Amino acid sequence: MKASVVRIGNSRGLRLPARLLELYGLSEGDELVLEERAEGILVRPAPRADGKLDRAEAYRRMAEEVAERAEWSDWDGTVGDGLER
């Protein structure tokens, strides 16, 4: 999916496709978080003021937790690591 950089006065803005606006429940005035990454710019909705997570953020956090549990699951069965009491 592509987006266009457009002129807004002396500034530039990012024009998002209607499909993304609908999918993430974005409307004019909503804040977005821009995160610099090695592979490019990550654009995501800012956390909501009421403390609730939007669908995309909730999924991202849940995926991170699952990945972390999987990463450590191999260590759960480790015996005789030399740290016995």
- The predicted pLDDT at position 2 comes to 86
Ordered per-residue pLDDT tens for the chain, 85 residues = 888 899 999 999 999 999 988 888 888 888 999 999 999 999 988 877 676 777 777 888 888 888 877 766 666 665 556 665 5
- What distance in Å separates the CA atoms of residue 72 and residue 85, rounded to the nearest whole number? 21
C-beta separation of 5 from 14 below 8 A:
yes
Q: Any idea which fold 4-76 has?
A: Pemi-like Protein 1; Chain: D (2.10.260)
- The predicted pLDDT at position 7 comes to 95
- The predicted pLDDT at position 5 comes to 94
No. of helices (H) and no. of strands (E), the chain: 2, 4
- What distance in Å separates the CA atoms of residue 62 and residue 27, rounded to the nearest whole number? 25
Contacts of 56 (CB under 8 A, 6+ apart): 24, 44, 45
- The predicted pLDDT at position 45 comes to 85
